[in-house]
């Protein structure tokens, strides 16, 4: 039988060091990548697993794990169509990274309203922190309530915290698991399962998100930029025709809308620099070489967004910044062509 890595689930092989699953000795339990991640916090491989929504053929209970870092992508998938016969619990993870003033009930109510509009139903919406073990017991009670002799699958985008949540639930049940969690997107490569109320609870490989920071920078560099601790937003009072440079990674320009405060949520490692708007971004291009976090040698493009009055927006750029802006404005983002950028109504 093929032996799998106990951290990520990849099939182990000792033939090719450059291919996934490599081990020097097939008696080892962790592939080289997982070994390096676990013991040295190092990731050498640059390939990202590009898995899509997992195929779950049975009638199951789906636990859809969404990180607050991905709130903008909350409507990206019609889960009711992917899993037509399976009820879905929505879990909002990483709530420890939000400011304490964020009203979670209001956020949940808004998400429910949006889902209802799409005639998509969540049987429950539960905010949790897998890291701090907050409300994991509430989630487990909800799973038990909705499970009804079905298997339970944790699904969600890469890095949403499925594996950490899986480990937390396992430890509540006094079950040992070896699955690894970490900032590398696409870490889990196969299903992991534990018994759960006469059925099973399954951690699945994450859904690939194109345009993630990991497709542009090596792990050593992007790991500082992924938001995993509480971030106090940096508030900038901007005049029209001003730009903010986010390291050498992207720039956000405020073109019109009057004098306005905007709130930037990013890792403290992200250097933010305010300057005068220049449509050629010449200064940005010059500064790029001097920045600690920078993306050079790819094509940059400009995207323009017109924001409506009376609405609060979140502009999310890759996995590294969420920018909150209220009311009428024109915003231009200058960023690598294939980097992900989304604009949605803000939920907090």
Binding site for ligand GTP (CB under 6 A): 93-94, 96-97, 129-131, 156, 158-164, 181-183, 185-188, 205-206, 228
- The CB-of-202 to Mg ion minimum distance in angstroms stands at 11
Nearest distance in Å: CB 325, ligand GTP: 25
Number of Cβ within a 10 Å radius of residue 331:
21
Q: Which of 188, 204, 212, 318 binds Mg ion (CB under 5 A)?
A: 188
CA distance 29 to 224: 28
| Residue with smaller CB distance to ligand GTP, 206 or 248 | 206
Q: Which residue has the tokens 């859904």?
A: 207
Contacts of 57 (CB under 8 A, 6+ apart): none
Q: Interface with Mg ion includes 163 (CB under 5 A)?
A: yes
Distance in angstroms (rounded) separating the CA atoms of residues 49 and 6: 17
- C-beta of 72 vs 253, nearer to ligand GTP: 72
In the complex with Mg ion, which residue's Cβ is closer, 86 or 159? 159
Task: Find which of Mg ion, ligand GTP, none residue 93 binds, CB within 5 to 8 Å per kind.
Answer: ligand GTP
> For residues 58 and 116, what is the distance between their CA atoms, to the nearest angstrom?
25
Partner that binds at residue 130, options Mg ion, ligand GTP, none, CB closer than 5 to 8 Å by kind: ligand GTP
Q: Considering the complex, what minimum distance in angstroms separates the CB of residue 137 from ligand GTP?
A: 14
Pair 293, 270: CB distance under 8 Å: yes
Q: Which is nearer to Mg ion, 72 or 163 (CB)?
A: 163
Q: Which stretch binds Mg ion (CB under 5 A): 123-131, 158-166, 277-285, 293-301?
A: 158-166
Could you give the residue ranges of the DSSP H alpha helices within 204-254? 219-222
Half-sphere exposure of 335 (CA within 13 A, CB side): 26
φ/ψ of residue 186, rounded to 5? 80, 30
Q: Please report how close the Cβ of residue 293 comes to ligand GTP at its closest, in angstroms.
A: 18
Instruction: Give yes or no for a contact between 158 and 209, defined as CB atoms under 8 angstroms apart.
Output: yes
Identify which of residues 12 and 227 has a Cβ nearer to ligand GTP in the complex.
227
Which one, of 181, 155, 176, lies nearest residue 56 by Cα?
A: 155
Cα–Cα dist 279/45, whole Å: 37
State the Cα–Cα distance between residues 99 and 174, nearest whole angstrom: 32
Residue whose beta carbon is closest to ligand GTP: 206
Choices 81-89, 107-115, 188-196, 224-232 (CB under 5 A): range interacting with Mg ion:
188-196
Query: Is 204 one of the binding residues for Mg ion (CB under 5 A)?
Result: no
Q: List phi, psi (to 5°) of 228.
A: -130, 5
Residue 318 interface partner, choices ligand GTP, Mg ion, none, CB cut-off 5-8 Å depending on type: none
Q: Closest separation between CB of residue 343 and ligand GTP, Å?
A: 24
Task: State yes or no: residue 72 binds Mg ion (CB under 5 A).
Answer: no
- DSSP E strands in 14-58: the ranges are none
CB of 226 to ligand GTP, least distance (A): 7
Binds 158: which of ligand GTP, Mg ion, none (CB < 5-8 Å by kind): ligand GTP
How many whole angstroms separate alpha carbon 22 and alpha carbon 168?
Answer: 28
The residue count for the chain: 348
3-state class of 336 per DSSP?
strand
Nearer to ligand GTP, 71 or 325 (CB): 71
Maximum distance among all Cα pairs of the chain, rounded to whole angstroms: 66
How many CB atoms are closer than 10 A to CB 63? 28
Rounded to a whole number of angstroms, the minimum distance from the CB of residue 159 to ligand GTP is: 4
Q: How far is the CB of 43 from Mg ion (least distance, A)?
A: 14
Q: Which residue, 119 or 229, has its beta carbon nearer to ligand GTP?
A: 229
Residue 161 binds which of ligand GTP, Mg ion, none (CB < 5-8 A, kind-dependent): ligand GTP
Strand partners, 307: 329
Applying CB under 5 A, which residues contact Mg ion?
A: 162-163, 188
């Amino acid at each position: 039988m093929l032996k799998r890595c106990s951290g990520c689930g990849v099939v182990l092989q000792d033939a090719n060091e450059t291919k996934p699953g490599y081990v020097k000795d097939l008696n080892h339990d962790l592939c080289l990548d997982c070994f390096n991640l676990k013991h040295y916090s190092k990731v050498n491989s640059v390939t990202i697993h590009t898995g899509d929504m997992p195929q779950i053929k049975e009638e199951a209970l789906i636990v859809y794990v969404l990180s607050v870092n991905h709130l903008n992508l909350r409507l990206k998938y019609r889960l009711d169509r992917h899993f037509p016969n399976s009820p879905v619990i929505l879990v909002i993870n990483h709530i420890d990274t939000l400011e304490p003033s964020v009203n979670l009930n209001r956020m949940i109510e808004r998400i429910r309203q949006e889902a209802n509009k799409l005639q998509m139903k969540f049987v429950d919406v539960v905010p949790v922190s897998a890291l701090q073990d907050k409300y994991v017991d509430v989630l487990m009670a909800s799973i038990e309530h909705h499970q009804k002799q079905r298997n339970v699958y944790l699904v969600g985008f890469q890095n949403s915290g499925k594996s950490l949540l899986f480990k937390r639930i396992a430890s509540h049940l006094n079950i040992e698991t070896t699955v690894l969690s970490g900032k590398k997107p696409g870490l889990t490569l196969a299903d992991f399962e534990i018994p759960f109320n006469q059925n099973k609870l399954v951690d699945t490989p994450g859904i690939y998100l194109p345009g993630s920071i990991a497709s542009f920078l090596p792990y050593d560099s992007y790991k500082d930029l992924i938001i995993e601790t509480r971030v106090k937003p940096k508030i900038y009072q901007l005049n029209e025709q001003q730009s903010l440079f986010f390291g050498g990674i992207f720039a956000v320009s405020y073109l019109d809308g009057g004098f306005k405060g905007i709130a930037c949520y990013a890792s403290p490692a992200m250097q933010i620099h305010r300057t005068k708007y220049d449509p050629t971004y010449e200064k940005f291009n010059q500064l790029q070489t001097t920045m600690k976090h920078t993306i050079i040698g790819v094509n940059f493009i400009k995207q323009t967004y017109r924001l409506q009055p009376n609405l609060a927006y979140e502009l999310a750029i890759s996995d590294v910044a969420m920018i909150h802006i209220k009311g009428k404005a024109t915003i231009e983002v200058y960023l690598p062509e294939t980097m992900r950028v989304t604009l949605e109504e803000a939920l907090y």
